[in-house]
Each structure stands twice: as C-alpha cells, then as structure tokens.
Structure 1
Amino acid sequence: MRLIEKAISVISPAWAAKREANLVKIQAGAYARNIIRGGNSYTGATNKRSMQDWATNNNDANSAMLNDLPILRERCRDLYNNTPAARGAISTINTNVIGTGLILRSTPDIEVLGITDEVAQELSDTIEREFLLWANSQLSCDYTRKLNFNEIQRLVSVSQQISGDVFVLMPWVNRKGSIYDLKLQLIEADRICNPNDLPDDKKIAGGIEYDDNGIPIAIHIRTPHPGNTLDSSIPTWERVEYYGAKTGRRNVLHVMENERIDQARGVPILAPVIETIKQISKYSEAEIAAAVVNAVLAVFIKRPVPDDTTPVDYGEEDSVKPWETTDYQLGSGTWIDGAPGEELQVVNAARPSNQFDPFFLATMKQVGMALELPFEILIKHFSSSYSASRAALLEAWKMFRVKRSFIISNFCQPAYEEFLTEAVIKGRVNAPGFLSDPAIRAAYCVAQWVGPTPGQLDPGKEYDAANKAVEYGFSSRTRATAELNGQDFESVIKEKAREEALMRKLNVSLNTSTFQPIAQLEREQQNNNEDDNET
C-alpha cells in the first residue's frame, strides 16, 4: 500500500481499500494490454482495429490439421474433378515432374565397390535390363495388375497432391508368369485411420501408431474404404508395421511433404487456395450463365398501365389468351405472344462483364503464387517477351525439380532398392557383398532418375548455350544431353554410331552430320601432330 493510502486508511479504511483495489486493476489492465500488443515490437502482434477479427491458435501440427483433413480432401478432389484452374495446376505439375515416367539410370559407385568402369557399365546394363523387365510389366509390378511402374509414379504424384499423402505397401506375391515377387500396392489416404474410428491420442493419430519416443511404427488400414457405398460389410483394420521385425525390411512407404515438425499426415496442395478457386469458379459459372441467357433472351414484354375507361376486346371468354400461358422456355429464336397494347423491350445485359477477365487473371496470379507456378505457366499463355517467358519457365522448373526430387527420394528410389534386393537374392544380378554390408549395398543402389526436361522457347539459343557450357568445362555431355532432351548420352552416341555405320554402308552422306568416328579423329590428330613436328 502506498503512503497516501496509508494516511487515508487512518481516516477512512474503506476509502483506502477501494483506492488500492482500483490501482491494482489499472496496473493489471496495463500489463494485459502490453501482452496483447506484443510489447509494441511488431505491428502484427498488436491489437489494432484491423487485427481484432483475426482468430488464431497455437495448436501443434496434428491438433491443427487432423480434424480438417477429411473435408480438405473432399473439397480438393471436387475442385480437381470440376474446376479448370485446379485441374490445370495439378496436371501441369505432374506433366513436368513425372511426364511419361522417370527413367532409371544405374550408376554404381565404382570407388566404393573397387571395380573398373567397364565392369560398372556391364553391371549397370544388367540392372537396368532387369528393372525394365519388372517395371514394364503390370503383372510383375502392380499388386492390382493394372499399372506399370511409370503409371504408378504418376498416380502416386497425383494422389499425394490431391489427398495430401499416399501410402505404398511392398508385399512379395508369387504369381505365375512373373519373375519377380515384389509388388507395389497403393493405399489411398482415407483408408489410413484409427481403429474403430477412435479419437486421436499420443499413441495413434491419423491412423499412424507411435512408440513411446514418438516414432511412427505402424499404420492401420481400413477395409473397406470409408466412402465405399458398394460394400456394406463391417469395417476391419489391418495393422502393418513400417519395418519388418525380423529382417528390418521396409514394408510401408509414406509419401508426404512435411510442413511442420511432428506432422503425422500430409495436407493437400490446394488447401491454401480452396476458397479462392471455388469463388472464381462460381464467378465463372455466373458469367457463363448470364452470357447464355443474354444470347437466347432478346426481349421482354412491356405492359402499359391499364385504363378502365378503354375497354379492350380479348375475344371469347372461354378462349385461352396467348399471354396467359406459363409454359415459356428460353431458346434461340423463341417468340413470346403479348396481350393487345403490350410492347417489346429489348434486353442488353452486356455480358460477359468487362471486369471478368482482369479479375480472373488477378486471382490466378494469387493461385500461382501459392502453388509456386508462375502465372504464364499456370494459364498456358506466354504473351510477354522471350526473356520474361524464359524467366517464368526457369522459375517453374525450380519447383518441378524440388518435387521430382521428393518423388524420387520418397518413392522411386526406395522401390528400386527393394527390387534390386530381390534381384540379388534371386541371383539375376551379381553383386558381391550386397546382402552383408550396408555400405556396399548403398554403393550398388546409387542411381539417377531422368524425367521430362524444360521446353526450349528458342532451341538455337538453348543448344548454343549448352555447347559453350560443355566447351568451357561447366557441364558434361551426359548432363547436357539429359537436361536438353532427357536422354542418355551414351545411348545417343551408340545410336549415332550405328547410323553413321549404316550411312557408310549405303554410301549416303548427309550435310547435317558432323559426327566423326574416334579412329578418324585420332588419325586427324596424328596427322596434325606430324605437321607440327615438320614445321
């Protein structure tokens, strides 16, 4: 109590107590305001009028998203199925990231394995040949016998973006006519849920089971699918561990992008722009409907104010007047009969609105920002200069390469490593030390995955730049070939050598060919050296 309150308490204790209570309230209010305003360090933490309707929470990743995921998946699928913007964005990403499928290029680490380049090349050829034998066969690759490996890649990518994540099981199933037993079984995100639909807790959340250290150890798969209206059987749950207890073999691939620490499930890629895309879709539908109505409805009936002093003869009493019918339908060339004294009024709705296209384009720019898709790539319209269009293409490919790396590391490479393990076990690939030393196994599994390349706006400039990069030592022919057309340099050279041999055999010469066999190059170099020595 302050000195003045002490003095007042001598005269009036009640008055002093009241003053003290008010002082405490004032100090508490000032402290609370200081907390709300964040100490005035950041405007975004203040309680200004513009921030008062901003509701936020401090929930962890799972508390913030698990309850919202079912409706997010449903709405993203609906947008993908019914809106051009959502469909185009996801299809553009998949076409550039996956294309017709990422191609395996086996590149064993010769230094770790202690083998020569020739042996490594033979090993790579064998591995790639065996992999194609498995990957190109629906019977060998897909658990459901519907897709090959390239088609599974695309389905995994699409499902992950629409649903937020996708699960891949890797059972071994012995089938007649199939050399390899490894099969890939895709599980849609909705089927991974808590047993008996129990609420999430620290042991099981989002259908994923955790140990005491918070490490995921198993998933729970619901059968049938929660949205399966054709199967009325009682649902059951199958528990599948991420890794085998005896062998340590990987049983489950969980393909999802982590955006927060300890995040259990993935979020659909369209989640930040669901409302924006839906609203622009409604706007588009309204403009289209208005334009259609405006095209088929040209006139209205305008009726004058009735004048009781002027009788109008409408004909016989029992006859049906044309204007009394309610069976009117809009259509091109439709004629509506009016009553005597009524006149036609032309309708000019001025549709579509002049503001529709600018508003639509501005909205698409925001959608592109959220999806990391430049505006030109998103709407497939290049109206700027060459430099601006190329900049947009390069910026988009930064994102495409990131997503391709994600698919490779989370699906393609793990599936390939499981395949190679089986190939070694079955003796179809000779890889000493593969099964006994993890380091040796990793060296055998080194691989590159080649996919679609950026398109060339000006092929001449692109190839000139690639030639200079190779000439100056900034790049290799192998890398330049892969970046320009997605092909393998060695395969291109072998094919070109066969073409040259065929042309020599048929005595055909093409002016566009600048290829020279190595032997000829060596002879020319030897002749040049002899000339230099004579000089």
Structure 2
Amino acid sequence: MGFIEKTLGVVSPGWAAARAKNRLKLQAYDAALPSRTQKTRREGRSADTAVFAAGTSLREQGRWLDENHDLVIGLLDKLEDRVIGAHGIHVEPQPLDLEGNLHADFAGQLSALWAEWSIRPEVTGMFTRPEAERLLLRSALRDGEVFTQLIRGPVAGLQHSTSVPFSLEMLEADFVPMNLNSTAGQQVRQGIIVNAWGRPTGYKVYKNHPASLSGFSTDLKTIGADNMLHLAMRKRLHQLRGISLLHGVIPRLADIKDYEESERVAARISAALGFYIKRGDAASLDGEAEYSEPGNSRHYDIAPGMIYDDLKPGEDLGMVESNRPNVHLYEFRNGQMRAVAAGTRGSYSSIARDYNGTYSSQRQELVESFEGYNVLQQWFVGQHSRPVYRSWLAMALNNISIPPEVDRTSLYNALYLGPVMPWIDPVKEAAAWKAIVRGGAGTEAEWTRARGKSPQEVKRQRIRETEYNKEHGLVFDSDAANDKGATPDATNNEPDNTKSSKNDD
C-alpha cells in the first residue's frame, strides 16, 4: 500500500483498500497502462453510438474504393463468386410424404415455379435472382447493410413479372435515415422502430433516394418488419445498423493506393529522363555569357545508338540513373494484401491473383478461406434467401393444389446450396470422394451437392442417358454395368497350358 492509501486509510479504510486493489489490477495488465511507446485507445460507446458516428462515412468511403480501387473491386468480386456464385443460392424444395420420404413430384413442381419466378423477381424487372443476390451481397459488404421490401399481392402501379404475385424491392442503406431518432410515441433508433425489448417492428424509409437526381425529398413511409428484410454486418450486441466489411482495412487500402500511384509516377518520370551535361569550374568555360543568354540553351533529340560529340571544354556527359521501379514494391504490396485478406474474410491468393505454391499449400489456404466464405454464405441464407423463399412459397401455395399425401408440416423444408469449394486437382478430389462414397462415409447426393449440382436432376439425366444408350446399342465407360470383365467364351478360347504340359510329359 502506497503513501496515499495509508493516508486515506485513516479517514476511510474501505476507500483506501479499494484504491489499492484497483492499482494492483492496473499493474497486472500492461496493455491498460499508457506508455511512451504504446497508445491506449479505448471504445466506451455503445454499438449504436459508434455506428452513428462512423457508419455513414465508412459507407461512403467503401463506395469510393469500390469505384476507384482495383484491389477493392477484385475483393468484392471474389466474395460475390465464392458466396453467391454465377447461379445464385440454389434452393432445393424438400416436401415429404406422410411416410417421411421426399415427395419428388411435388418438389419438382415447386422447383419449376421457383425457377420461373427467379427470372424476374424484383420490382424493376432489371435483374434475375442471381444478379439481385450478388448486388445485395455486394451492397451489404461494402455499405454494411442493405434492405429488401417484400411486395405481396396486388399493389397499385406494380405488375408482378411472374404468375406468383410476389416481388422484391431492393433498397440501399441510404433509404433508411441514420440520423432519425425519436423517443416520443414510437421509439425510433437510427430510422428503425423498435419495441421495449429492442426488437425492430418497422422501418422509416424515404420514398426516393436522398441523393437522387430528382432532388432530395423528406417524404417518409413506414414499412412493417414483416415486410422488410435487413441484411446487416453487425459486429457487436445491441447493434441495429450495419458496419462496412472494409471498416478495419480502409486506411491500409488508401495507403496502398497512394503508394502505388507515387511509384507509378516516379517510374514514369525516371523513364522520361535522358542525359545531362556537367560543366567544370568557371575558369575552364569559354564564353559563359552565351549559356545565360535567352535562346542559347541546347536541346537534342535522343535516339537509340546515338553518339554525342559536341561537348565544350570543361564539360562532361552524364546519364540520369534511376532506381525505379522499386524492386521491393511487389514484396511490400503482397504483405499489405495479406493483411487486407485477414481483415475481410478473403484469401490472399484470390485477392492478389497469386497462385504460386504446391498443391498442399494451395489447398490448405483454400480450405481455411472457404470457412470464412461459408460463414458469409450462411449469414446471407439466414437473413435473405430463406425468408424470401418462404414468403414466395406462401404466395405460391395459394395458386397450386397440394397433393393429399404430402405432409403439410414439411411444405417449407428446403436445402439452400451456394458455391462449393473448387477443386485444385480434379483427379485427387474425385478419387477422394469415390473412396468416401464406397467406404460408406458419404452419399452420392452429398458428392453431387459438393459439385453444386442437384442430385435429383443428375439422376434424371443419368436415367435418360442410360436408357437412350441401351436403346441404340451405345456402350460407354460412364456406365459401369458395361464393365463385366472377361466373358466365359473368352476364357474357353484361351490355350490350355495344363493339357500341353501333360502331352509334353
């Protein structure tokens, strides 16, 4: 106990003991103590307060980088590829019959309706479902959040694009005002209406984009939480609005861009430099005045292999040497991109397009990075794909008849499949899957889904192929039934070595 604690102990022993205890706690954690070489920066604000202060700025910076920085464009493109893919999140309906088996016919009917709706699922009619999903994911990752209004049934001025009266209205984060807060009547926090438990019950939405060419409008409408999906990147508990995925790497990305631009400019300047003429002391110069008079400066057109022999007394010819481009730029840039990948759930190889390394090292990186992609994929499915499909199915069931043998409690069962981990070496990957299936540790359907295909569709195609081949007498290695080994006739035609040996005897 120090001098101050001893002095306080005379007046208030409890206070003195508490102060001494807190001093010991601070001494036990060096990271809590500021020093000359360590800056102790702390965050004591609530999640909503922190997002309110920085969310809009980070969103706008992320958009600028997505428009102007090649690394950010490539990063977001690759996340679209790995999380959504070219064909979007594949939804495979799984309605069951009363015996617990898949009702294939009804599942096929739902799949056909879903495929038709996926052609034009949103109100503008500009995007297919995979295109819309990629845009929604990109907006959510770059801006931190994106909103989707579910439009059900007849709506004035809107014509649904398919037979199912259900459409999506995709809204950028700007449509929900960040600075709208109120405690009078409805409790509104950052444009979201919440109840006493903090659960969103509605959203305040601008009727037009606040930065549209038609001019800013303050007209707001209220959309109930049942009709609105909020895909948000949340990093803390009790956080309503999302934060950009780039929030931790924006300074590094800006530094990389500035540094690369400086190196490019320096390399261009170095490439434009030629030679210089070095003069001696003043005593060796003849007619110094002629150099200083206007119009007497010497200019030369440099050409490959030229010989210059017009030096005056006391002059020397020198070449401008440059250390550009910087030989360490590649190594430094790659190190920075590894840090960017670590802060964005990406992989260095995909961002840098650097695929050097052995099969084992590439696969190790791919396996580790794909776990991050799977996290984002499940987040997207849970917050967007599943509620969209269930809302669509609720509307579709009004227009189709449900077979009596279908278990109605299983109507909303479905599998949600996104892009799978690509194969680095197809031969090794196929051999591994074959061993898993033959060993009973996996199924053919699991193998098919791992390739991003529908097991039912693959089976149907295989049945059609094998039946067609048998009908027309076609034999291929793809049908294992054709591989029957040596026939009995072939065995009988072989020479009998045993009889020959006996005759020789």
TM-score of the two chains, using structure 2 as the length reference: 0.82
Unaligned segments of structure 2, at least 5 residues: 1-5, 485-505
Question: What is the distance in 1 between the residues matched to 2:36 and 2:200?
Answer: 44
Alignment of 1:437-516 (within 5 A): 440=408, 443-483=410-450, 485-510=451-476, 512-516=477-481
* Corresponding position: 1:320 with 2:286: no
Deviation at 1:134, TM superposition (A): 1.0
Q: CA deviation at 1:316?
A: 13
- What does 1:72-151 align with in structure 2 at a 5 Å threshold? 72-100=58-86, 101-110=88-97, 114-115=98-99, 117=101, 120-136=103-119, 138=120, 141-151=121-131
Q: Deviations over 1:74-123 (max 9, x none)?
A: 1111122222222222211110111111222111244xxx25636x1111
Alpha carbons 1:295, 1:332 under 8 Å: kept: no
Q: Deviations over 1:300-340 (max 9, x none)?
A: 454555569953464998x73346x9xx999999xxxx997
Cα distance in 1 for partners of 2:377, 2:301 equals: 53
Contact 1:297–1:332 (CA under 8 A) maintained in structure 2? no
- AA paired with 1:271? H
RMSD: 3.7
What does the per-residue CA deviation read over 1:357-416, in whole Å, with 9 as the maximum and x for residues that have no partner? 221111111112112333233322222221111111111111111111111111111111
Map 1:202-241 onto structure 2 (within 5 A): 203-228=187-212, 230-241=213-224
Contact 1:423 1:429 in 2 (8 A): no
The CA distance in 2 between the partners of 1:353 and 1:60, in whole Å, is 45
Query: TM-score scaled to structure 1, two decimals?
Result: 0.78
What SS is found at the alignment partner of 2:201? strand
Looking at structure 2, the residues matched to 430 and 332 of structure 1 have their Cα atoms a distance apart, in angstroms, of 83
**Any conservation in 2 of the 1:37–1:45 contact (CA below 8 Å)?**
no
**AA at the equivalent of 2:479:** T
Aligned-pair distance for 1:20?
7.0
CA contact (8 A) 2:8 2:15 kept: no
Q: 1:152 to 1:351 in 2, by over 3 A?
A: same
Measure the CA separation in 1 of the matches of 2:60 and 2:93: 40
Cα deviation, residue 448, structure 1: 0.9
Q: Say yes or no: does 1:370 pair with 2:343.
A: yes
Structure-2 residue corresponding to 1:40: 27
Distance verdict in 2 for CA 1:24–1:292, change over 3 Å: farther
> Aligned partners of 1:497, 1:330: CA distance in 2, in Å?
74
State the partner residue of 1:185: 169
Aligned to 2:127, what secondary structure does the other structure show? Answer: coil
Stretch moving more, 210-219 or 404-413 = 210-219
2:374 is matched with 401
Q: Give CA-to-partner distance per residue, 1:221-261, whole Å, 9 cap, x none.
A: 12432333x2225331111111xxxxxxx200001133211
Q: Work out the CA distance in 2 between the residues paired with 1:180 and 1:235.
A: 33
Do the aligned partners of 2:291 and 2:297 also contact (CA within 8 Å) in 1? Answer: no
Q: 1:493 to 1:224 in 2, by over 3 A?
A: closer
Alignment partner of 1:162 out of 142, 145, 152: 142
Separation (CA, whole Å) in 2 of partners of 1:122 and 1:235: 51
Q: In 2, Cα distance between the equivalents of 1:343 and 1:353?
A: 29
Report if the CA contact (8 A) 1:37-1:47 is conserved.
Answer: no
User: Is the alpha carbon distance of 1:316 and 1:44 closer, same or farther for their aligned partners in structure 2, counting shifts above 3 Å?
Assistant: closer
Aligned match for 1:428, one of 394, 397, 400? 400
Structure 1, unmatched stretches of 5+, are 1-18, 243-249, 522-535
Contact kept in structure 2, 1:374 and 1:396, CA below 8 Å: yes
Aligned counterparts of 2:246 and 2:301: Cα–Cα separation in 1: 40
Which deviates more, 307-316 or 80-89? 307-316
State the distance in 2 between where 1:309 and 1:490 align.
93
Query: Does structure 1 retain, via aligned residues, the 8 Å contact 2:116–2:162?
Result: no
Of 387, 390, 410, the residue aligned with 1:414 is 387
Counterpart Cα distance in 2 of 1:144 and 1:213: 36
Superimposed CA distance per residue, residues 428-474 of structure 1 (whole angstroms, 9 cap, x where no aligned partner): 2527799xxxx945x21111122322221111111111111112221
User: What residue is the counterpart of 2:495 in the other structure?
Assistant: none
Q: 2:239 aligns with which of 253, 258, 263?
A: 263
How far the C-alpha of 1:493 sits from its partner, in A, is 2.2
- The answer on 1:379 being equivalent to 2:352 is yes
Question: For residues 254 and 61 of structure 1, what CA distance do their matches in structure 2 show?
Answer: 17
Give the Cα–Cα distance (whole angstroms) in 1 for the partners of residues 312 and 7 of structure 2. Answer: 88
**Structure 1, 72-81 or 175-184: larger mean CA deviation:** 175-184
Distance in 1 (alpha carbons) for counterparts of 2:396 and 2:93: 14
Distance 1:35 1:496, change over 3 A: same
- Cα distance change of structure 1 residues 309 and 255 upon mapping to structure 2, 3 Å threshold: closer
> Residue 415 and residue 309 in structure 1: after superposition, are their counterparts in 2 closer, same or farther (change >3 A)?
closer
Residue identity in the other structure for 2:222: R
The Cα shift of 1:42 comes to: 2.1
Distance 1:423 1:22, change over 3 A: closer
1 CA distance for matches of 2:382 and 2:122? Answer: 20
Q: 1:278-289 alignment to 2 at 5 Å?
A: 278-289=254-265
Q: Aligned with 1:66: secondary structure? A: helix
SS of the equivalent of 2:166 reads: coil
For 1:4, the equivalent position in structure 2 comes to: none
| Preserved CA contact (<8 Å) 2:180 2:190 | no
CA distance in 2, matches of 1:21, 1:117: 77
Match of 2:481, as an amino acid?
Answer: Q
Letter in 1 for 2:468: L
- The answer as to whether partners of 2:74 and 2:351 remain within 8 angstroms in 1 is yes
- 2 CA distance for matches of 1:289 and 1:146? 41
2:472 maps to a residue whose letter is L
**Structure 1 CA distance for aligned equivalents of residues 279 and 217 of structure 2:** 65
Give yes or no for the alignment of 1:275 onto 2:251.
yes
Which stretch of the first structure deviates more once superposed, 449-458 or 35-44? 35-44
Query: What secondary structure does 1:175 align onto?
Result: coil
SS of structure 2 residue aligned to 1:271? coil
Provide the rounded CA distance (Å) in 1 between the counterparts of 2:43 and 2:192. 24
Write the distance in 1 (CA, Å) between the matches of 2:204 and 2:304: 58
- SS of equivalent residue, structure 1 residue 475: coil
Tell me which residue corresponds to 2:489: none
Structure 1 residue 49, shift from structure 2 partner: 3.4
